[in-house]
Structure 1
Amino acid sequence: MTSTGTSSPVLHGGRRASARLRDGVVPLETGGVRRRIPVAAIERVDVHGAGGRRLTVVLTGGGSVAYHLRCRSAPAVEAFAHAVRRALPVRDAGEPRPDGAALVTEEPLERAAPNRVRRLCWAAGSGYALGLVLLPVAGAGAAVVILWVAAPAAIAGGVVGVRAGGKVLRETWVLRTRGITVEGRLQRSRRGEGGSDLYTYAYVDGEGVRRELTSSDGGGERADITYDPADPGTAEIGRRSPGLLVFGAVLTLLFAPFLLAGVAFVVVGVVALVV
């Protein structure tokens, strides 16, 4: 069994493969199958391969059945193997071993839902790279190629700015229209990475849950804390001023043209390829 004083070790491999040690069992997920391997069914655990990055779990019963997992981190493989070895039962040399394969249970893993955002990013990146190659071949002018090259930076900058401005607008509006204010007590303070002082206040929300908020605002023994009852994680010390609404709107309007310009650059390139 794993020690109660340490966390259960986890080993991650390629293609979503993983192995864990939990309550005397090694759940091993590889090839779309989850195998639950009791430590009593394990004869030994080997670490080998280039740089010691491959873990092999050999079952009892002659060692003819073994499972493998490759990980990029050699220290992680060694640490996991060490944890499993410590959990193995102590056996005498002449003690009969059970048939390890018979003790292992298997079940198919549910396929993860497709990551649409990742697929969209891959499609957009592939299309952009293809356009970068085809534009000179199609005889597009240098100006069109330059716009195509500048499009990703303009779109990325626009998205970051618009999202930041939208977040300020949303949080400020939510806290001003439905925020609940309670009194928090100072728990501790520390110096932040930027050199400013950070203060942590504790408060209890309307559901009776104790929460903490760390901010550069405050400093006194008590401070008013306003939080969103629908999302207590959205909270602030005091109440946001109307100026933050203006700041969020200005930030959004300032970066929106970059986003629109980037989209326009892409359209110009696509038109040059099609026409």
Structure 2
Amino acid sequence: MSERESSADVAGGLPAEIVLPGSRGRSARFADGWVVIEQRHVVHRIPVAAIDRVVASSGRVDVLLRVRSGPAEVHRIRHLGSGAAFVRAVTGALPVRDEAERAGDGRALVQSAFVDRGSPGPARLVRLVNSPLKLFCWLYLAGFVLLAVSAPAGFRTVEALLLWLFGPPVLGIGAGLATAAVRSVPAPWALHRRGITVAATVTDHEHEVVPNGDDRPYDRWYPVYAFTDAEGVARTHTDRRREGRREGRAELCYDPENPALVRRSENFRAGVVWTLVGTLLVLVPIAAVGLGLAVGAVGAAFGSDG
């Protein structure tokens, strides 16, 4: 589970506190009418009066603030698992507003404070290896140094370095893509097993301004679908998997056990099958070849001549 509910608060008759753990020490929580987002060096406290809506998608929850004009200001929370309970709690606490109130600006109500996380020295060292990719790169470079220093001079050293040059990267690419493929399976499989398909209509578009370095930023538009679920509840869904202005109707499929999981209706079973087949027949062999090259590099450097 990616969300925790404070049982002490519930037992004591106080409002529950919904916690949404994120990666690298980041988190968000909702309690007593406030969404508190803790990032690396800043904490944002957002009252429900400042929030227009909350949108959940795979791996993230977006808190959109009320604005008078221009693109909406988005506070994004990246997390693992489902943010459905967090979205339901915040959405249920939003006040009912008329059009004039919705046009107000909620950004002035947000309280932001910088946080001193202590001495930057140890933290800087931790950040050097705080992700699998960084750790892999350091081990890769360390292997080069170890092979160059320890292997006997001559052809075997060149052979070991060439094998190591290609082995770990091929292994990393194969293993990384295979891991990503396997992790993408649970969502479509859940929709195949228990998903409910409904008709939806494009009613709006979510506007996002994307920075582009020193060049002019560019715009992205994502369609917002409105639909009524099987329980008669009116809902909306922002389709971030399909960019661009759209109109008309479409069929959406949602998971009743995880309402935040919504996708355009398709043959989810076929997608899962082809993902697993491609993983077994393509990605796993690629990783095996890379592992063989890496092992061969070590054997060439330290193995006996026979």
**TM (normalized to structure 1)?**
0.49
Structure of larger gyration radius: 1
